[in-house]
A and B are shown apart, each in its own frame.
Chain A
Amino acid sequence: MSFDSFSAFLAMGGHGLYVWSAYAVTLVVFAFNAIKPVLMHKRFLQQHKQLQRRELARENTAQ
Protein backbone atom coordinates (compact mmCIF):
# COMPACT_ATOMS: atom_id res chain seq x y z
CA MET A 1 0.00 0.00 0.00
CA SER A 2 1.40 3.33 -1.08
CA PHE A 3 -0.75 5.45 1.29
CA ASP A 4 -0.86 5.72 5.09
CA SER A 5 -4.53 6.52 5.42
CA PHE A 6 -7.75 6.65 3.43
CA SER A 7 -7.74 10.45 3.51
CA ALA A 8 -4.20 10.48 2.08
CA PHE A 9 -5.47 8.11 -0.64
CA LEU A 10 -8.27 10.55 -1.49
CA ALA A 11 -5.96 13.57 -1.40
CA MET A 12 -3.41 11.99 -3.79
CA GLY A 13 -0.73 14.32 -2.45
CA GLY A 14 -2.70 17.41 -3.40
CA HIS A 15 -3.52 16.17 -6.92
CA GLY A 16 -6.73 14.44 -5.83
CA LEU A 17 -9.03 16.58 -7.93
CA TYR A 18 -7.07 15.82 -11.09
CA VAL A 19 -6.55 12.11 -10.46
CA TRP A 20 -10.13 11.42 -9.44
CA SER A 21 -11.71 13.48 -12.19
CA ALA A 22 -9.60 11.64 -14.79
CA TYR A 23 -10.74 8.28 -13.39
CA ALA A 24 -14.34 9.55 -13.23
CA VAL A 25 -14.33 10.55 -16.93
CA THR A 26 -12.96 7.10 -17.78
CA LEU A 27 -15.67 5.38 -15.75
CA VAL A 28 -18.41 7.39 -17.49
CA VAL A 29 -17.09 6.52 -20.98
CA PHE A 30 -16.72 2.81 -20.09
CA ALA A 31 -20.24 2.75 -18.65
CA PHE A 32 -21.60 4.39 -21.81
CA ASN A 33 -19.85 1.86 -24.05
CA ALA A 34 -21.26 -1.01 -21.98
CA ILE A 35 -24.84 0.26 -21.66
CA LYS A 36 -25.36 1.61 -25.19
CA PRO A 37 -25.35 -1.79 -26.97
CA VAL A 38 -27.65 -3.25 -24.32
CA LEU A 39 -30.18 -0.48 -24.99
CA MET A 40 -29.76 -0.94 -28.76
CA HIS A 41 -30.47 -4.67 -28.38
CA LYS A 42 -33.55 -3.98 -26.25
CA ARG A 43 -34.95 -1.54 -28.78
CA PHE A 44 -34.34 -3.97 -31.63
CA LEU A 45 -36.23 -6.74 -29.83
CA GLN A 46 -39.12 -4.44 -28.94
CA GLN A 47 -39.51 -3.19 -32.52
CA HIS A 48 -39.30 -6.58 -34.12
CA LYS A 49 -41.53 -8.34 -31.61
CA GLN A 50 -44.19 -5.76 -32.36
CA LEU A 51 -43.65 -6.25 -36.09
CA GLN A 52 -44.06 -10.00 -35.76
CA ARG A 53 -47.24 -9.61 -33.68
CA ARG A 54 -48.70 -7.32 -36.33
CA GLU A 55 -47.83 -9.80 -39.09
CA LEU A 56 -49.47 -12.59 -37.14
CA ALA A 57 -52.60 -10.52 -36.59
CA ARG A 58 -52.77 -9.71 -40.29
CA GLU A 59 -52.42 -13.37 -41.22
CA ASN A 60 -55.20 -14.33 -38.78
CA THR A 61 -57.64 -11.73 -40.14
CA ALA A 62 -56.86 -12.79 -43.69
CA GLN A 63 -57.90 -16.36 -42.98
Chain B
Amino acid sequence: MGRVWSLFHKFASPKWFYEISGKLLPWFVAMTGLVLCTGVVWGLAYAPPDYQQGNAFRIMYIHVPASILAESSYMMMALAGAVGLIWKIKLADLALKTAAPLGASLTFLSIATGAIWGKPIWGTWWVWDARLTSMLVLLFLFVGVIALRSAMENKEAAGKACAILALVGLVNIPIIKMSVEWWFTLHQPSSFKLTEKPAMPPEMWIPLLIMVVGYYSAFATAWMMRIRVEILEQENRTQWVRDRVRTA
Protein backbone atom coordinates (compact mmCIF):
# COMPACT_ATOMS: atom_id res chain seq x y z
CA MET B 1 0.00 0.00 0.00
CA GLY B 2 2.81 2.37 0.90
CA ARG B 3 4.29 2.01 -2.56
CA VAL B 4 0.97 2.67 -4.24
CA TRP B 5 0.66 5.84 -2.20
CA SER B 6 4.10 7.10 -3.08
CA LEU B 7 3.35 6.46 -6.75
CA PHE B 8 0.05 8.33 -6.34
CA HIS B 9 1.85 11.35 -4.90
CA LYS B 10 4.54 11.18 -7.54
CA PHE B 11 1.84 11.28 -10.22
CA ALA B 12 0.40 14.28 -8.46
CA SER B 13 3.69 16.18 -8.84
CA PRO B 14 3.30 18.38 -11.92
CA LYS B 15 7.02 18.37 -12.70
CA TRP B 16 7.30 14.61 -12.54
CA PHE B 17 4.18 14.19 -14.66
CA TYR B 18 5.46 16.70 -17.20
CA GLU B 19 8.74 14.81 -17.57
CA ILE B 20 7.28 11.32 -17.81
CA SER B 21 4.55 12.39 -20.25
CA GLY B 22 7.19 14.09 -22.39
CA LYS B 23 9.02 10.77 -22.67
CA LEU B 24 5.81 8.81 -23.43
CA LEU B 25 4.34 11.26 -25.91
CA PRO B 26 6.35 10.34 -29.04
CA TRP B 27 5.45 6.66 -28.53
CA PHE B 28 1.78 7.52 -28.18
CA VAL B 29 1.85 9.68 -31.32
CA ALA B 30 3.45 6.86 -33.30
CA MET B 31 1.07 4.24 -31.94
CA THR B 32 -2.00 6.40 -32.57
CA GLY B 33 -0.99 7.06 -36.19
CA LEU B 34 -0.21 3.43 -36.89
CA VAL B 35 -3.32 1.96 -35.25
CA LEU B 36 -5.74 4.52 -36.71
CA CYS B 37 -4.34 4.13 -40.23
CA THR B 38 -4.62 0.34 -40.02
CA GLY B 39 -8.16 0.54 -38.70
CA VAL B 40 -9.36 3.09 -41.26
CA VAL B 41 -7.92 1.24 -44.26
CA TRP B 42 -9.26 -2.08 -42.98
CA GLY B 43 -12.69 -0.70 -42.18
CA LEU B 44 -13.10 1.32 -45.37
CA ALA B 45 -11.56 -0.98 -47.95
CA TYR B 46 -11.26 -4.55 -46.63
CA ALA B 47 -14.15 -5.22 -44.25
CA PRO B 48 -17.16 -6.72 -46.06
CA PRO B 49 -20.28 -4.61 -46.59
CA ASP B 50 -23.39 -5.29 -44.49
CA TYR B 51 -26.18 -7.38 -46.04
CA GLN B 52 -28.76 -4.68 -45.30
CA GLN B 53 -26.89 -1.38 -45.21
CA GLY B 54 -24.23 -2.04 -47.83
CA ASN B 55 -21.26 0.29 -47.50
CA ALA B 56 -23.03 2.90 -45.37
CA PHE B 57 -22.28 0.53 -42.49
CA ARG B 58 -18.60 1.58 -42.70
CA ILE B 59 -19.56 4.74 -40.80
CA MET B 60 -19.74 2.40 -37.79
CA TYR B 61 -15.92 2.32 -37.66
CA ILE B 62 -15.77 5.99 -36.70
CA HIS B 63 -19.15 6.36 -34.98
CA VAL B 64 -18.96 3.57 -32.39
CA PRO B 65 -15.44 4.43 -31.10
CA ALA B 66 -16.40 8.13 -30.86
CA SER B 67 -19.41 7.18 -28.71
CA ILE B 68 -17.36 4.85 -26.50
CA LEU B 69 -14.67 7.48 -26.01
CA ALA B 70 -17.24 10.21 -25.31
CA GLU B 71 -18.56 8.15 -22.39
CA SER B 72 -15.08 7.05 -21.21
CA SER B 73 -13.75 10.59 -21.25
CA TYR B 74 -16.74 11.72 -19.20
CA MET B 75 -16.09 9.01 -16.61
CA MET B 76 -12.42 9.98 -16.51
CA MET B 77 -13.38 13.64 -16.07
CA ALA B 78 -15.75 12.81 -13.19
CA LEU B 79 -13.09 10.60 -11.57
CA ALA B 80 -10.59 13.45 -11.80
CA GLY B 81 -13.23 15.67 -10.22
CA ALA B 82 -13.69 13.26 -7.32
CA VAL B 83 -9.92 12.94 -6.76
CA GLY B 84 -9.61 16.73 -6.90
CA LEU B 85 -12.39 17.26 -4.37
CA ILE B 86 -11.20 14.63 -1.91
CA TRP B 87 -7.42 14.98 -2.07
CA LYS B 88 -7.21 18.60 -3.27
CA ILE B 89 -4.68 17.66 -5.93
CA LYS B 90 -4.11 20.46 -8.43
CA LEU B 91 -3.15 18.04 -11.20
CA ALA B 92 -6.56 16.36 -10.91
CA ASP B 93 -8.23 19.68 -11.61
CA LEU B 94 -6.04 20.12 -14.69
CA ALA B 95 -6.95 16.58 -15.79
CA LEU B 96 -10.64 17.52 -15.55
CA LYS B 97 -10.08 20.83 -17.32
CA THR B 98 -8.27 19.22 -20.28
CA ALA B 99 -10.62 16.24 -20.61
CA ALA B 100 -13.67 18.49 -21.07
CA PRO B 101 -12.96 19.94 -24.55
CA LEU B 102 -11.74 16.56 -25.83
CA GLY B 103 -14.85 14.84 -24.49
CA ALA B 104 -17.04 17.52 -26.04
CA SER B 105 -15.37 17.05 -29.43
CA LEU B 106 -15.85 13.27 -29.29
CA THR B 107 -19.51 13.60 -28.26
CA PHE B 108 -20.01 16.02 -31.14
CA LEU B 109 -18.36 13.47 -33.47
CA SER B 110 -20.60 10.69 -32.20
CA ILE B 111 -23.72 12.78 -32.84
CA ALA B 112 -22.53 14.14 -36.20
CA THR B 113 -21.44 10.78 -37.65
CA GLY B 114 -24.62 9.21 -36.25
CA ALA B 115 -26.75 11.82 -38.01
CA ILE B 116 -24.91 11.25 -41.30
CA TRP B 117 -25.40 7.50 -40.88
CA GLY B 118 -29.06 7.87 -39.89
CA LYS B 119 -30.09 9.90 -42.92
CA PRO B 120 -29.75 7.16 -45.56
CA ILE B 121 -30.46 4.17 -43.30
CA TRP B 122 -33.21 5.29 -40.93
CA GLY B 123 -34.52 8.05 -43.16
CA THR B 124 -33.78 10.91 -40.75
CA TRP B 125 -30.84 12.88 -39.35
CA TRP B 126 -32.35 13.04 -35.89
CA VAL B 127 -35.17 11.71 -33.70
CA TRP B 128 -35.81 12.54 -30.06
CA ASP B 129 -35.38 8.97 -28.87
CA ALA B 130 -33.83 8.17 -25.51
CA ARG B 131 -30.37 7.25 -26.90
CA LEU B 132 -29.92 10.30 -29.10
CA THR B 133 -31.33 12.67 -26.49
CA SER B 134 -29.16 11.33 -23.65
CA MET B 135 -26.12 11.72 -25.93
CA LEU B 136 -27.11 15.35 -26.54
CA VAL B 137 -27.35 15.80 -22.75
CA LEU B 138 -23.76 14.47 -22.52
CA LEU B 139 -22.64 17.16 -24.99
CA PHE B 140 -24.39 19.83 -22.89
CA LEU B 141 -22.66 18.50 -19.75
CA PHE B 142 -19.23 18.81 -21.37
CA VAL B 143 -20.03 22.28 -22.69
CA GLY B 144 -21.45 23.19 -19.27
CA VAL B 145 -18.20 22.19 -17.54
CA ILE B 146 -16.19 24.31 -20.01
CA ALA B 147 -18.54 27.29 -19.69
CA LEU B 148 -18.67 27.11 -15.89
CA ARG B 149 -14.89 27.37 -15.63
CA SER B 150 -14.66 30.31 -17.97
CA ALA B 151 -17.48 32.08 -16.14
CA MET B 152 -15.78 31.93 -12.73
CA GLU B 153 -12.98 34.25 -11.70
CA ASN B 154 -11.67 32.33 -8.71
CA LYS B 155 -9.68 29.39 -10.05
CA GLU B 156 -10.04 27.16 -7.02
CA ALA B 157 -13.80 27.72 -6.74
CA ALA B 158 -14.17 27.12 -10.49
CA GLY B 159 -12.34 23.80 -10.20
CA LYS B 160 -14.60 22.75 -7.34
CA ALA B 161 -17.79 23.78 -9.19
CA CYS B 162 -16.69 21.92 -12.35
CA ALA B 163 -15.91 18.78 -10.32
CA ILE B 164 -19.35 18.88 -8.69
CA LEU B 165 -21.11 19.38 -12.04
CA ALA B 166 -19.09 16.52 -13.56
CA LEU B 167 -20.03 14.21 -10.67
CA VAL B 168 -23.72 15.10 -10.76
CA GLY B 169 -23.79 14.50 -14.53
CA LEU B 170 -22.32 11.03 -14.03
CA VAL B 171 -25.88 9.72 -13.69
CA ASN B 172 -26.31 10.27 -17.44
CA ILE B 173 -23.75 7.56 -18.29
CA PRO B 174 -25.85 4.52 -17.27
CA ILE B 175 -28.86 6.21 -18.87
CA ILE B 176 -27.03 6.42 -22.22
CA LYS B 177 -25.91 2.82 -21.85
CA MET B 178 -29.32 1.40 -20.91
CA SER B 179 -31.58 3.73 -22.94
CA VAL B 180 -31.83 1.25 -25.82
CA GLU B 181 -32.85 -1.53 -23.40
CA TRP B 182 -35.25 0.38 -21.14
CA TRP B 183 -37.30 2.24 -23.75
CA PHE B 184 -38.53 1.93 -27.32
CA THR B 185 -35.91 3.77 -29.36
CA LEU B 186 -35.07 4.08 -33.05
CA HIS B 187 -31.45 3.33 -32.18
CA GLN B 188 -30.70 -0.39 -32.07
CA PRO B 189 -29.30 -2.13 -28.96
CA SER B 190 -25.55 -2.56 -28.56
CA SER B 191 -23.85 -5.11 -30.83
CA PHE B 192 -21.41 -5.90 -28.04
CA LYS B 193 -22.40 -7.31 -24.67
CA LEU B 194 -20.04 -8.62 -22.02
CA THR B 195 -21.80 -11.96 -21.74
CA GLU B 196 -22.52 -12.63 -25.41
CA LYS B 197 -20.70 -13.10 -28.66
CA PRO B 198 -20.51 -9.94 -30.81
CA ALA B 199 -23.48 -9.60 -33.18
CA MET B 200 -21.18 -9.55 -36.20
CA PRO B 201 -18.44 -11.79 -37.64
CA PRO B 202 -14.72 -11.21 -36.84
CA GLU B 203 -13.94 -9.72 -40.26
CA MET B 204 -16.29 -6.91 -39.23
CA TRP B 205 -15.49 -6.46 -35.53
CA ILE B 206 -11.68 -6.82 -35.65
CA PRO B 207 -11.25 -3.51 -37.55
CA LEU B 208 -13.75 -1.95 -35.13
CA LEU B 209 -11.70 -3.14 -32.16
CA ILE B 210 -8.59 -1.65 -33.78
CA MET B 211 -10.39 1.66 -34.22
CA VAL B 212 -11.49 1.67 -30.57
CA VAL B 213 -7.86 1.11 -29.47
CA GLY B 214 -6.79 3.88 -31.89
CA TYR B 215 -9.34 6.31 -30.45
CA TYR B 216 -8.23 5.57 -26.87
CA SER B 217 -4.64 6.13 -27.90
CA ALA B 218 -5.57 9.35 -29.73
CA PHE B 219 -7.44 10.59 -26.68
CA ALA B 220 -4.48 9.83 -24.41
CA THR B 221 -2.14 11.63 -26.81
CA ALA B 222 -4.27 14.75 -27.18
CA TRP B 223 -4.98 14.83 -23.45
CA MET B 224 -1.27 14.61 -22.56
CA MET B 225 -0.45 17.38 -25.04
CA ARG B 226 -3.07 19.63 -23.47
CA ILE B 227 -2.31 18.93 -19.83
CA ARG B 228 1.40 19.57 -20.47
CA VAL B 229 0.61 23.12 -21.58
CA GLU B 230 -1.72 23.58 -18.59
CA ILE B 231 1.06 22.39 -16.25
CA LEU B 232 3.44 24.97 -17.73
CA GLU B 233 0.80 27.69 -17.26
CA GLN B 234 0.10 26.67 -13.68
CA GLU B 235 3.78 26.31 -12.71
CA ASN B 236 5.03 29.27 -14.73
CA ARG B 237 6.72 30.88 -11.70
CA THR B 238 8.74 27.81 -10.75
CA GLN B 239 12.41 27.53 -11.63
CA TRP B 240 12.05 24.41 -13.77
CA VAL B 241 9.46 26.04 -16.03
CA ARG B 242 11.54 29.22 -16.30
CA ASP B 243 14.54 27.13 -17.32
CA ARG B 244 12.44 25.35 -19.89
CA VAL B 245 11.16 28.60 -21.37
CA ARG B 246 14.70 30.01 -21.56
CA THR B 247 16.18 26.98 -23.31
CA ALA B 248 13.19 26.36 -25.63
Residues from chain B with a CB closer than 8 A to the CB of A36 are 226
**On chain B, which size bracket covers the interface?**
35 or more
Structural contact, B49 and A44, CB atoms closer than 8 A: no
Q: Mark A9-26, 1 if CB is under 8 A from B, else 0.
A: 100111100110111011
State how many angstroms separate the Cβ of A24 from the closest Cβ of chain B: 10
- Tell me if A's interface is mostly helix, strand, loop or mixed: helix
Cβ contact within 8 Å between B105 and A52: no
B233 within 8 A of A: yes
By the criterion CB–CB under 8 Å, are A3 and B63 in contact?
A: no
- Chain A residues whose CB sits within 8 angstroms of the CB of B228 once the complex forms: 37, 41
- Check A19 against B59 for contact (C-beta < 8 Å): yes
Identify 9 new A-B residue pairs, CB closer than 8 A, beyond the known A18-B59, A37-B226.
A2-B49, A3-B45, A14-B54, A18-B120, A22-B59, A30-B218, A36-B226, A45-B248, A48-B242
Contact residues of B with A, CB < 8 Å? 40, 44-49, 54-56, 58-59, 62-63, 66, 102, 105-106, 108-109, 112-113, 116-117, 119-120, 218, 221-222, 225-226, 228-229, 232-233, 236, 241-242, 245-246, 248
